A and B are shown apart, each in its own frame.
Chain A
Amino acid sequence: MNLNATLFAQLVVFLILAWFTMKFVWPPIMKALDERAGKIADGLAAADKAKTDLAHAEKKASDELRKARESAAEFRSGAERQVAQLIEEARAEGVRIVNAAREAAEAEAGVASQRAKEALREHVAVLAVAGAERILRKEINAQAHAELLTQLKSEL
């Protein structure tokens, strides 16, 4: 436990080491620490911003969705109305066509039966005349009795 010059040597070493630390150790580490603190602060701010942005976007998305749903519903009801109308029109058209067809068919059938009747009349008249001609070969003159025959035909 003696005092000697070691004391001053230690003092000098002490100051040199402290100087070295001040010069080469402290500043880079403090710089890194400060930079990291800055980065973390930036990161937190960015996260906050992202959170509010996300809330905004979600709100906007749900608005859009609601709007889309509303317009879709509108479209659908419009389309249903239109379809109902189209069906109604088509039904009316169909009824109309069927009626027209039926009328046309009836008319055609009437004409055809008329024509058949007339043809029948001709035949009957011709047959009657032919029969009468055979029976009354001598007395009946086709030309002289044409008026009589026509009258007969119209009575058939």
Chain B
Amino acid sequence: MAAEHAPNASEYIVHHLTHLNSLGHKQAALVDWTVFHLDSLFWSVTLGLLAVLILSRAAAKATSGVPGRFQAAVEILIEMVESQSKSIVHGDRTFIAPLALTVFVWIFFMNAMDLLPVDLLPNIWAWMFGMAGHDSSHAYMRVVPTADLNATLGMSLGVLLLCIYYSIKIKGLGGWIHELFTAPFGSHPLLYPINFAMQMIEFVAKTVSHGMRLFGNMYAGELIFMLIALMGAAWAGTFGSGLLWLGGVFAGTIWAIFHILIITLQAFIFMMLTLVYIGQAHETH
């Protein structure tokens, strides 16, 4: 935050929606492949490591005897993922089921960053940034990696690559290319271009919607938390602002409780779609 004046609502939100990137200032071009979002990378890698650390701790201590509560909780999760993947993917699941588990736990952790107070980590970062001798009003920090389109599209692109990999693995390269041109409308030279176009649209639509769905939900959720924070920040000693503050507490509570559902649901949906898309790669048209 700037020390000289408090930011107005629009400045506050724009500040909160600006990524800490490798440029040091807001990325101007819509697409620039030389830039990294350092905050998204830091939080997603940290949370990913936390997720696999927790899971591998459970795995290291797993016993076939009476499980403790922690082990039982992880087992419930794994049984859930295992039964879902078994019902959706017909084939070898040695990689796919663990992938689904990783997706679920990792995305759940990244989404859960939304439940931290919106200003907590950014303010800590601004303080550290200021201590390091920089202008703390340019300390950008977004802590919800799944509210970054790059992160969600990165994952859905990973799923796309896996779909292609499994398509080739199951059907063979020739079989897959044959399917690209003959499905869904049938094998006729006139239909080849249409079939191919449909297949491409399908792949693009699947991947983009897969990434966009998660991004959109988390981005909107984050934005609403910011608006609620603005309501709380309206307190200025008057009766009207007091009401706004109360409204902020009330709305914040409601939205946070509702968000517990959203973060879990979105993680689950991303996992299910991952399984569905990879499952489709296992089936011939």
Q: In this assembly, does B199 line the interface, its C-beta being within 8 Å of a C-beta of chain A?
A: no
Residue of B33, B59, B60, B67 with most partner-chain A CB within 10 A: B59
Q: Which residue of B lies closest to A33 (CB)?
A: B75
Q: How large is the interface on A (under 10, 10 to 19, 20 to 34, 35 or more residues)?
A: 35 or more
Partner among B102, B145, B154 whose Cβ is within 8 Å of the Cβ of A21: B102
Q: Are B151 and A6 in contact (CB under 8 A)?
A: yes
Question: Could you tell me if A6 and B41 are in contact, using CB atoms closer than 8 angstroms?
Answer: yes
Contact of B27 among A2, A19, A21 (CB under 8 A): A2
* A22-B99 contact in complex given A13-B45, A15-B158, A30-B82, C-beta closer than 8 Å: yes
Main secondary structure of the interface of B (DSSP, over half): helix
Contact A32 B155 (CB under 8 A): no
Q: Flag whether A135 is at the interface (Cβ < 8 A).
A: no
Instruction: For B71, list chain A residues within 8 Å (CB).
Output: 32
Chain B, Cβ-Cβ closest to A35: B64
Q: Are B35 and A18 in contact (CB under 8 A)?
A: no
With a CB–CB cut-off of 8 A, which chain A residues contact B75? 29, 32-33
A123–chain B nearest beta-carbon distance, Å:
118
Assembled-state Cα–Cα distance A33/B76 (Å): 10
Distance between B79 CB and nearest chain A CB, rounded to angstroms: 7
Give which listed residue, A2, A13, A21, A28, contacts B44 with CB less than 8 A: A13
A3-B149, A4-B21, A10-B151 known; A24 and B35 CB under 8 Å?
Answer: no
Residues 133-156 of A, flagged 1 when their CB comes within 8 A of B and 0 if not, give 000000000000000000000000
Binding site for A on B (CB under 8 A): 19, 21, 27, 29-37, 40-41, 44-45, 48, 51-52, 55-56, 58-60, 62-65, 67, 71, 74-75, 78-79, 82, 94-95, 97-99, 101-103, 106, 145, 148-151, 153-155, 157-158, 161, 219
